[in-house]
Each structure stands twice: as structure tokens, then as C-alpha cells.
Structure 1
Amino acid sequence: MMRTKLLAFLLVLITVNFASAQKQKNLLTIEGESVSSEEFLKLYNKNLDLVKDESQKQLDNYLELFIDYKLKLKEAQRLGLDKDANYKREFENYKKQLTKNYLSDNKVTDELVLEAYDRMKYDIRASHILILDNPEVEDTLITYNKLLEYRKVLKDEGYEVAKGKYHNGKTVLVEDLGYFSAFKMVYDFESMAYNTKPGEVSMPFRTDFGYHIVRVDEKRPSRGTATVAHIMLALKQKDSTVNVEERINDIYKKLQQGEAFDALAKQFSDDKSSARNGGKLRPFKSGQLSSTVFEDAAFNLENKGDMTQPLKTKYGWHIIKLIKKEPINSFEDIKPTLEAQVKRDARSKLINSAMVKKLSKRYSITKNPETKAYFRPILEEGYFSGKFNLPKDYKGNVSVIKVNDSVYTNDDFLQFLKTKQRQYMRQKTTIKKVLDKELHLFYEQSVLKFREDNLVNENQEFADVLKEYKDGLLLFALMEKEIWNKASKDSTGLKNYYDSNASKYQWEDRIETTIATSSSKEMASSVQKLIKEGKSQEDIKTILNKDNQQNVIFTSGSFEKSNPKLPTDLVFIEGVSEIYEHNDNFHVFNIISVLPASTKTLKEARGSVVNDYQNEIEKQWLKSLRDRFKVSVNTKVLKQLKSKLNQ
């Protein structure tokens, strides 16, 4: 109970209040540490509507609670609980999670989430030509002009002609991409495809893979998600005597005769990964499978349980059974998932860039124009093979970027490059392109790092929430150590407290009874009669609860006289009672025994006793804290607060 109260108090502390800032005035001093009237008023206003005890809304009374709160924090620090490894780990995890909410541009995030959802409503069918990035070609205009030439062929003569002319599988790829939707392609490619009208070919554009043009052949409403099972026979069989087409038709006949699909899948399907599950596949959308024939056949099925006739793909012969088809979820249902995908996707770069752009207007930022030239020879000889060739006079402390008073140095950039080194070891690119890309990302990271390191100073809301959570964690750890554990584990002290206060823990008059409840007085009368005839609960339910009607419900247990389940005029006599109307129903009580008022045993009253014992320990403990720490209240400031609050 005490723990519940504290947790509720902590939740109040963490609630964010946007009260207007006031001039700082010291309301009280605890062991030499000043506490402002502003801090006190923040907590007072947050708690005001939640405090049920009207007396605690009086400023003098609430001030006593506030002082107790501050004394507990002082004691937690004295005991070194703020140095505890578990406490520090939990606090840092929370801080890291909270910080994320202040390091992204919510407006941009929301726009990207909505854009992704709008794109998910449609499937794009497209083909493209990709000239793979060539580190030896510095003049991108040559590549651009080539793609303009390819674009004319792809647009006027079509995909097959373009593939025959240009595809070599090494430097130029001409590919039919089939259908796809949001998150299935890199973001830049996806955006170009969705912004190109059906029948048109885009202008050349670049992704991390190289330079593209994309031809959009169709844009159709999404078919949603399908879940199917299938039986598949591979085209090549170990048993050379098996005619695959005849075998699949034989299986289809068995299905037509009513045999179970899952049993036949387990027995005959060559797709071992799904056969063990009766042929069931994971849910899929258009473009997720490598066979458009299979996808089209699956989505053309209308009703649960419908099956295709045998059909052939490049993988084999199939019979497909529809388990379910689902449309795209509503935006509100899918929004949290989309937000997570956006932040994992390349779109996250746009979120970071937007935030950096906003912060750059607030911060004083100075970039070293010599950084690229300095690092180029360091990277040129060994970077792609996993090495760095630092010169003898390497200057690690030279600034790369300065954000306000914080300097991010060559050493910082060097470590940043080392974390990216592995991803470049298999890529065909140039040191110039690496430096162009990674230095830009380092600039962004440095600005965001400065923001993260200075959030407490820059954002009062963040600082307040973080401090309140930090204090709340300390308070929880302290109460667990000093009060809760002591009360629950001190069996001798608990027993002594119970013995001294046993009169507080009393049973009222109570009954052991079975209650039969019905909405019908006639039905209650039937129950009464059947109980008197000695029928059991099960017999009565069988007799009266028929034709899918729930006419009577039984409740058994021990009930005190004040229990709201009992009518106030119920006569406590053993045996079958009269019919009572109570809580808009009719009840019959089969009273097994009547138990007169008595003192509860420690076992019976343990929950209440532990709670009361905790309160007693806390009361004595708080008194000792008042003795340990000197507290002084500025009565002048308190009087001003009372005047302001009309108290």
C-alpha cells in the first residue's frame, strides 16, 4: 500500500507542467542547500488536483510534505544511493531514451510518416537502368549524358529493347523490378518512383548504388496483405518416375474429395520450411515474393478456404489456399510502427539534417576548411584495406568543427572514420567521395552531440523531467531500503506491532455462504426450491441454464456484514434464505455458517499490519531525519506565497 502511494507520487513528479517562470526566491534551506519558491510551487501545482486530503492543500501542510521529500533525497545522497551501479544504469537508460525525443524534428518526422503511409496505399510497377558507381570516373556529367541517351530508348522502345542494348551485368544493370511499395527500395529511389507518372521515365538521379533512371509502368491501389498455404512440387524430382504435373493434379483431386489441405501439404509438399506447418507461409504484400504468378494467384482468391487449381511457376507446381486477406491498417493503428521504420530507414538522415539546420541558426559554428586536405593523404594509402597511415607530426587536437565553446577535433573525426572503415572495404569508391560524405555526417553528428550534451541547460522542460525522474529513482531506492524491506522482513517487529495494536484489526459478523443470483424472481424461486431439495450447484446450472441462457450465477466465499454484495437487511441464520432483491437482481443465500465478530489473526490481517507498520517506521524515521539535517524556512517568502495563493 505504501509502495503504491509512493509510485503514484512519483508519477505526479514526472508530469510536465508549463507554469510561467518566476523570479527565484529561497523558500527554505536544508543543511545549507537553498530550495527556491519556484521549485516548491511547481510541485505544489502539479499535486494540487490529485491530493484528496483537503488539509494537505493548505500551504503549511504541503510544505511539511515537501520538506519530508527533500529530507529523503538528502538521506539517499548521504547513504550513497546515487552512486549505486544499478541506479546509475537505470537513470542513464532513461536519460538516453528521453533524449531521443529532443534530438529529432517532430514536424519532419510526422511528415515522413504520413508520406510513407500514403505511399503504402499504392503499389508501383517499374523497371530501371543503373550505372554502377565507378570510382575511376570523376566526371559525373559523362554518366549523366549516358543515362539521357538510355532514357530515350527506355521510354520510346521499352524495357526489353533497353535491356538488350545496355545490360552487361557488371557496370550497367537493366532490371524489371516488378511491384513494390514504401520501404522496399532505398528512399531516394522510392521517392523518384512515386513522383514519376505511369508511362513516364524519370530524369537521371543518384543513390548509394550509382546513377539511375526509372520507368514507371503502373501505379495501382495496394492489395493489402495475404496469408496463404501452399503445396509445392519441385520441377526436378529425386524419383525420376514421378510426373510432376500428374502428381499435382492427383493431389488436387484429393482436395476436391474433401481431404485436409494441411495433411496433404505435410505429406507431399517439397517446400519443407512450410510443409511442417501445413503449407502456411508468412503474410506477404505485392512485390515481396519473387514470383508474380504466385502473388497474383494468391491475391485473386476471394474467400477464406478458396484454393487455386494447380499452377506453374519457375520454382515448381503449386496449389494455393487462402487463409486470410487484410487491407492496410488505419493510419492511427500503424503510426507507431511507421515511426520506428522511418527512424531506422534512410529517411532518418532527413530528420537529422532538419534538426541540424534548425540548430545551426542558434549555435555559433566554425568549420576548419583544411580538414579534407589534411585527411586525404592519411586515408589514401590504407583506408580501404583497413589501415591508417598517420604522419609523424599528426595533430590530433586541431579543430574540425567548433560548436559554441565545444571543439570537435581531428582525433574525434579519426575515430568517426574508423567506425565507418569496414563498410568501405568492399566498395568501389574514392577517398574524395568518402571524405565528402563522412565529413558532412561528422559535422551533423557534432552539432547533435553538442545539443545532447547541453540539453539540460538549453531546455528547461527536459531538465525538469530528468531531475524529477532522477529524484524519483533515488526516493524509490531509499524507501525500499529503509522502510519497505524492513517492515516486510522484520518478523519480530511486525509481530510486536500487531500484538500492541491487535484491537485495530477486527472481523465484523460474517458468513460462509453460496449466493445464487438471477435477474428473474421466478428463477430465484426455482433456485431456492432446488437448493432445499439438496441439488448441487452443477445440477442447478444444468437444469436452469439451458438453451444458451445464463439464468443463474453462483458466488461462494466469506463475506462481512458491510460487504456491498450483501443486502443490508440480510438475516444471518444458517440455512437457505428468503429471496432478496439487491443491486437490481434477486438473490438466494445458502448460509453454511455464521461467524461472530472477532480479532483477525496476524496472518489474516498481514496486509494491513505491514502497511501500518511501514507508516510507523516511516514516522519515526522522518523524525530522525529532522534531527539529522538542519531545516530553516524563510517565513517572509512563505507569507508572500500564501498571499499570492489567497491562503
Structure 2
Amino acid sequence: MKKITFIICLLALLSANTKAQTLFSFDHQKVSVQEFLKAFQKNNPTVTKNKTKAIQDYLELYINSRLKIHEATVRGYDTLSQIKTEMANLRSQISGKYMHDQDLLNRLTTEAFQRSQKDIHVAHIFIAFQDKNGFNNKAAADKKRDLVLQRLQKGDDFLQVAKELSDDTTSNKNGGDIGYITVFSLPYPFENAVYATPVGKYSTVVASHAGYHIFKNLGERKAMGKIKAQQILLAFPPGIDAAGQQKMKQLADSLYDRLQAGDDFSKLATTFSNDYITANNNGNMPEISVGMYAPSFEEKLATLKKDGAISRPFKTAYGWHIVKRIAVTPVVSDAENEANKLALQEKIKADSRWDHSQDFIFDIVKNKIGMKNYPIPDPLLWSYTDSILNKKPMPPAGRKIQSTDPLLTIGDSTLTIGDWIKYAQTHRFKKDGSGPENLVTVKNNFFKQSMLDYYQSHLEKYNEKFGSQMKEFKDGNLFFEMMQREIWNKAQTNLSALQEIYQKNKSKFQWGKSVDAIIFYCTSLSAANTAHALIQKDPIDWRAIVDKYSNQIIVDSSRLEWSQIQSLKNTTPTKGLLTKPVVHISDNSASFAYILQVFDKPTPRSFEESKGMLVNMYQQTLEENLDRQLRKKYPVTIHQKELDKILH
């Protein structure tokens, strides 16, 4: 039996949750009612009739399984190198997902989906902390912020205020109009401010490292999604006057008339468009998503209601445009779409909104596990660090510090000055390569990473779900090892025992009505039909046909009872019969059979022909014996009062 498949099946049988009333106990081990019921419901989800008997039968099976696992532990199988390796591999594979706040991820996913359903037209006022000379002047920024707010509260037009007062250099042209945005278009604090602001209103002030920001919701629309389009752009050259623009409009109008008469858009784009990148690609633009282009361009594109629709010429600051809608990919509107959820979550995890996903761990470490920061003054620590990492002279005070001195204790783990030096050595420079990182920041990051490392190494203790998953997998490995050693290997290798069973039960090992047959297994019904037609023409040459289609057909030649051949259903076989292909619903593969010989009367099976059944019989005997031995070694006490509650 394949180990992975076996363990997956067993995990459904063994599901741990020990915080409940005890159902049964053995050898100082207690198994809870909830633990048993969870396993029962996984394996019997649709039981409605005779549930009492189903529970009683399953309880016997469950007890036997728990006893085998306990015996494997007593024998020390959990210390076997292969089991320890598999446990370590699983831990490394799954622990990461428990190191982030899954509730936060779910909330952010729901929020991102809801925000993705609409686009918001936004204007922006920016007030910089730096003055024109590049010096920080927060007092001046505060004064300007207050002036902007007074103007807005008085009812002055937001776009006009932006033109006059915003430090965004483009605002004097566009009044702070930054076009449409959707989820993930802006930094998360800005996005929050925009989506919290009603249409026609302006937001509260949002502070960033650069200055103050105020947003206005100019309008909303149903999410545009992504649009594939072609464009003809008659671009304005520098310094063009009104007459020149009008002349270009006349050309745009004539091109539009030609398009309406049936002329080819691709040909005209290649010939006339000044957007040389798209002109060289038949006018095809990169897929357009919200915020990529000026609002006026996006709005015109959004008015095209069907694929193939062509806009009238329209003007932007860049020139005269004619656009043709090719296709639209709408945003996903089903909140339960799993592929979309995963796509949103990938974006969430790459965004600043995910920065606080591990805060819950820091809270657990500080408030539950406990940590102690040893009072080594930072200047002393910096001097020691510089002397080690930057080869600077050691000041007299620094000589008081030793690499073995404790710096931080988390739970039962102490980190030393030496641990700090190792961390600082690889993390003392900024990630962008722009220079050394501030040592205060490096130290804070060291403390955070130490908390994360401790929590992850003790995850079973602090995350019940993770602990249960690891225990289930460990139990599955122990159960498999027990079955392999005590039952499966013995049943396969003890030929004398198999011979003895065969001799004592020869009359039971009979062929029913059977055939010698070649079974052709094909990847699809189409492949089966092709092979069937060729073999029907020349059955003797079936090997050559199989060789020709070896990537689509495999064969098996054996003796089988009529009932074992699906394509023989409702058919009496004859020598030379080629059955019709049948489809296997589980994977849409197909098979058919070529009958070589027919046996229409029962005949004895040889030892070799009976071996599969013999192994199964012997395995059953071995397992029954093992269960009796374990029940004797570990007497089981069933708490009848709790069992009665389940049964009635």
C-alpha cells in the first residue's frame, strides 16, 4: 500500500480534539467524545439509518486503531529516522501558513473583493513636509494644511484649491485629478481614505512620510475590468496651435468615416497613427486596466458597449484618438470564486496592508510566553557591534561586554550578544543597497525575528489547529509502520502460511465463469475508438497498434471473471470477441477487451492465481490476532454514560 495515500485516509479516521469528556481510556490515555465524533462524522457523513449500529461498529474500529498507534509509540517507532524526517518535512511545509493572521487575511480578502467591484474618480491635494529648499518644515506644512481645510470647509472648489495650494506639481494643470482608482491602485492608507469617502465629499487628512494628503471622491462607476483595444492616435506635436489641432481633427474625422464605411482599423492604425509602438502592432494597445490612462480616455473607452464598437474622434492633451473595443474581461463578481480569492490574497501578501499580519504573534510572546530585555545600554551595544563588524577600536566600556552575555530571553530561550552580532552582520545594510541601516532599526528587527522564531519552534503549544494537524500526521505514520511490520510484510512474505491457508481452503478458491483476455486501457474514448477500429480489422496485429499509440494505450493480459470486465456487461463472451469501448466516469478514460479463451464452468484456482485472496485472508487473520493481543495488553475502559449520550 502506498504510504501517502494510506496516511491521508487515516487522517480522516484520527482527528484530535482533547478538550472534552472522555469516551474511553487505556494505559493512562484518554480519548474524548469530540475526538471520536469528529472522526466518525468525517467517515460517515451521510449516515441516517441505523446510526446507533454505525457508531458502535465504528467505535470498535477506532479503538483498534488507537491501540496500534499507542503500541507503535511504546515500541519507539516515533524515534525512527524516516518518521522524524517526514515530520520535519511536513512541519516546514505547513508551519508558514500559521505564522500569519488568517482571520486578518479573510477580512482583507473580503474587503479587497468588495472594493474591486467599483472604480472611484479621485482628486488629490498634497502638502509636503519639505519646503522648496528641501528642508523639513512641518510647522509650515501644518499651517498650509489648516488653510486648505478652511477653504474646503468654506465650500471652495476642491480642484481649484488643488491648483492653487497642492504641492503636487501636476495639480496646476489637472486640479489634482488623478483619474479612476480601484483596489490596490494606491497605498493602503490612501485607499482606505478614498473608499471611506462618499461621492462629492473630501476625506480626512492622511499623513505619510512625505506630507499630508486629502482626497475627494469625484464619482463612482461599476468596475471597468480590463479592456483590450486598438487605437489610432494623431498626436499633437510640440507648439501646435488651434488651427493645427483643427486640421488634425479633420484627418481624424475622415479616418472615422472610412472606418464606418468598412475600412480596416488595423491598416489605418499602421498607416496614420503617431503612437509608433501600437502602430507597429496594428494599433493594438496593452490590456487596459483602471488608472492606466487619463480619465477622459478611460471614460470614452467605457462608453463602448460591445466588442468591435469604434469611438468618434475625441481629444486629450496628447492628441486626437479613435479607439476600437476588442474585448472586455470583467472583474469577478462571485465572492466565492476560489481562483479570484487566491489572486486577491497574492496581491494582499505583497502589499503594505499585510505588514501587520504577524502582530498577533508579538502579542502572544509578550503577554503569554513572556520576554525579558536585558538592560544593556544601546550606546554600549553599538560600540561593541562597531568594533566587531566594522573593525573599529574597542572603547573601554565595550570591553565589559562578552559575546555570551544575555541580551533577550523569550520563554525558556536566551539570546546572547553573540546571537545579535550574527544577525546584525547579515542585516545591517538597507535592502535597497543604499547604505547601512540604523542600528536601532536592526535591533528592533532582531527582537521581532527572535519572537517569530521562538513562536514557530513552539507552534504546537500555541496553535491548537497546527498541533492537531501534526499529531494526526504522526499518528498516521505510526499506524502505517505498525501495519507494515506486523501485518502487510508478514502476509506478503510468509509463503508457508499462505500455502497452509490454501490447502485448508482449496474449495473456496474457484474461478467462476471467466476468460483469458487482453484489456486495452485508453486515455480517452476517442483513443479507444481509434484503437478499437484498427484492432477489429486485424486482431492478430494488436501489439503493433498498441506500440504505435503507446502514449495513449496500455494493456494487461490476464484471466478474469466475467463480472470483472466492465465492457462485458450484458454480453456473453466468445473466443475472438472484441468488446465495445466503455468510459470510466472517474477520469474519462475508456477500455475494451479482446477475448482469447472462454471458461464457462467453475474451475479450481491455482496457488498463484489465489495469492491475492490468500494475502487478504492472512492479513485479516494477522490483524485480528494483533487486535486481541493489544486489547489484552491495554485493557480499554469505555465510559458508558458518555457513549449512551452519543447513541441516544
TM-score normalised to the size of structure 1? 0.63
Partners in 1 of 2:141 and 2:127 — Cα distance?
10
Q: In the alignment, which of 333, 341, 358 is matched to residue 352 of structure 1?
A: 358
In the other structure, the counterpart of 2:466 is 462
Q: Is the 8 A contact 1:126 1:179 kept in 2?
A: no
Tell me, yes or no, if structure 1 residue 38 matches structure 2 residue 44. Answer: no
Q: In the alignment, which of 334, 342, 350 is matched to residue 330 of structure 1?
A: 334
Spell out, residue by residue over 1:398-447, the C-alpha distance to the aligned partner (whole angstroms, 9 max, x if none): 555544444455555556665373236548x994xx73x66655555544
Partners in 2 of 1:499 and 1:9 — Cα distance?
31
Spell out, residue by residue over 1:585-640, the C-alpha distance to the aligned partner (whole angstroms, 9 max, x if none): xxxxxxx99955368999xxx9x98965764685698799999x9996243xx245
State which drifts further: 343-352 or 479-488: 479-488
In the other structure, the counterpart of 1:220 is 220
Q: Is the 8 A contact 1:68 1:622 kept in 2?
A: no
Partners in 2 of 1:143 and 1:370 — Cα distance?
39
Q: Residues 524-563 of structure 1: matches in 2 within 5 Å?
A: 560=562
Q: Is the 8 A contact 1:120 1:222 kept in 2?
A: no
From the superposition, tell whether residues 24 and 319 of structure 1 become closer, same or farther in structure 2 (CA, over 3 Å).
Answer: same
The letter for the 2-side match of 1:190 is: E
Partners in 1 of 2:378 and 2:24 — Cα distance?
49
From the superposition, tell whether residues 200 and 111 of structure 1 become closer, same or farther in structure 2 (CA, over 3 Å).
Answer: same
How far off its partner does 1:188 sit? 1.8
From the superposition, tell whether residues 286 and 54 of structure 1 become closer, same or farther in structure 2 (CA, over 3 Å).
Answer: closer
Q: Is the 8 A contact 1:123 1:179 kept in 2?
A: yes
Partners in 2 of 1:511 and 1:571 — Cα distance?
14
Q: Is the 8 A contact 2:267 2:282 kept in 1?
A: yes
Partners in 2 of 1:389 and 1:342 — Cα distance?
46
Partners in 1 of 2:456 and 2:370 — Cα distance?
16
In the other structure, the counterpart of 1:206 is 207
Spell out, residue by residue over 1:240-265, the C-alpha distance to the aligned partner (whole angstroms, 9 max, x if none): xxx99788777656644546667877
The 3-state SS of whatever aligns with 2:311 is coil
The letter for the 1-side match of 2:293 is: S
In the other structure, the counterpart of 2:116 is 120
| Structure 2, unpaired ranges of 5+ | 48-52, 238-246, 518-559, 576-594
Identity over aligned pairs, percent? 18
Q: Residues 448-487 of structure 1: matches in 2 within 5 Å?
A: 448-473=452-477
How far off its partner does 1:12 sit? 0.9
State which drifts further: 139-148 or 450-459: 139-148
In the other structure, the counterpart of 2:194 is 193
Q: In the alignment, which of 290, 309, 313 is matched to residue 306 of structure 1?
A: 309
In the other structure, the counterpart of 1:144 is 142
How far off its partner does 1:296 sit? 1.6
From the superposition, tell whether residues 275 and 354 of structure 1 become closer, same or farther in structure 2 (CA, over 3 Å).
Answer: farther
How far off its partner does 1:302 sit? 0.8
In the other structure, the counterpart of 2:427 is 419
| Structure 1, unpaired ranges of 5+ | 29-34, 238-242, 513-557, 575-591
How far off its partner does 1:230 sit? 1.0
Spell out, residue by residue over 1:556-594, the C-alpha distance to the aligned partner (whole angstroms, 9 max, x if none): xx99479999998x89999xxxxxxxxxxxxxxxxx999
How far off its partner does 1:20 sit? 0.3
Partners in 1 of 2:257 and 2:561 — Cα distance?
65
Q: Is the 8 A contact 1:117 1:331 kept in 2?
A: yes
The 3-state SS of whatever aligns with 2:430 is helix
Partners in 2 of 1:560 and 1:378 — Cα distance?
84
Q: Residues 422-433 of structure 1: matches in 2 within 5 Å?
A: 422-423=430-431, 425-426=433-434, 431=438
State which drifts further: 386-395 or 397-406: 386-395
The 3-state SS of whatever aligns with 2:470 is helix
In the other structure, the counterpart of 2:530 is none
Partners in 2 of 1:326 and 1:561 — Cα distance?
52
The letter for the 1-side match of 2:302 is: F
Q: Is the 8 A contact 1:507 1:600 kept in 2?
A: yes
Partners in 2 of 1:485 and 1:254 — Cα distance?
82
Partners in 1 of 2:55 and 2:199 — Cα distance?
72
Tell me, yes or no, if structure 1 residue 286 matches structure 2 residue 290. Answer: yes
How far off its partner does 1:70 sit? 4.8
Partners in 2 of 1:381 and 1:247 — Cα distance?
73
How far off its partner does 1:295 sit? 1.6
Q: How well do the aligned residues superpose, as a CA RMSD in angstroms?
A: 6.1
The letter for the 2-side match of 1:457 is: K
How far off its partner does 1:69 sit? 4.5
How far off its partner does 1:469 sit? 1.6
In the other structure, the counterpart of 1:543 is none
Tell me, yes or no, if structure 1 residue 131 matches structure 2 residue 128. Answer: yes
Partners in 2 of 1:497 and 1:266 — Cα distance?
87
In the other structure, the counterpart of 1:80 is 81
The letter for the 2-side match of 1:128 is: I
Partners in 2 of 1:317 and 1:5 — Cα distance?
61
Partners in 1 of 2:41 and 2:168 — Cα distance?
74
TM-score normalised to the size of structure 2? 0.62
Spell out, residue by residue over 1:240-299, the C-alpha distance to the aligned partner (whole angstroms, 9 max, x if none): xxx997887776566445466678778987878878987665654421x13333322221
The letter for the 2-side match of 1:38 is: V
Partners in 1 of 2:16 and 2:123 — Cα distance?
49
